[in-house]
Amino acid sequence: MVEPKIKAPHLRAPTAETVLPLSRVRTIMKSSMDTGLITNEVLFLMTKCSELFVQHLAREAYAASCSKETSDTLKYEHLSQLVNKSSNLEFLLQIVPEKIRVHTFQEMLRLNRSGTTSDDDDDDSESESESESDE
């Protein structure tokens, strides 16, 4: 297995240019209920920081995938695994959920039904709708 060559994030030159469109980031920021005035400086900073986040996510997920597999393709599974194990990505658990196969899930459901309390049934019905939309 080849050690992945990850580009160092700190070698990047600081710029006043953004790659992501500022107007779109403004719309996104405004969608948050109580956001007041957004200064140009704050808008710039949020855009930059979203860019950094995209690259951070890609880099980390790719590094994790390369240590396990020989494939050089970053897949959804790598992302959901990363989200699952990183505490600072906890807010993405609902956004990038781990995929589960319908039959695996039905198996889980069956095992759960046959010998657990009714408390678990609540969780089941919730995740059931999720898995159906996934597959």
Residue with tokens 């781990």: 98
Tell me the per-residue interface mask from 56 to 95 with other proteins, x by CB under 8 A, - otherwise.
xxxx-xx---------xxxxx-xxx--x---xx--xx--x
Residue 47: exposure state from Cβ atoms within 10 A (0-12, 13-18, ≥19): buried
Residue 65: exposure state from Cβ atoms within 10 A (0-12, 13-18, ≥19): buried
Mark the segment that binds other proteins (CB under 8 A) among 50-58, 103-111, 112-120, 121-129.
Answer: 50-58
Number of residues that bind other proteins (CB under 8 A): 65
**Cα–Cα distance measured from residue 127 to residue 105, given in angstroms and rounded to the nearest whole number:** 9
Count of C-beta atoms within a 10 Å radius of residue 130: 13
Choice between 29 and 108, CB closer to other proteins: 29
Q: Does 30 bind other proteins (CB under 8 A)?
A: yes
Q: Does 42 bind other proteins (CB under 8 A)?
A: yes
Indicate the SS3 state at residue 98. coil
Chain residues that interact with other proteins, rule: CB under 8 A: 4-7, 9-10, 12-17, 19-21, 24-25, 27-42, 44-46, 48-59, 61-62, 72-76, 78-80, 83, 87-88, 91-92, 95-96
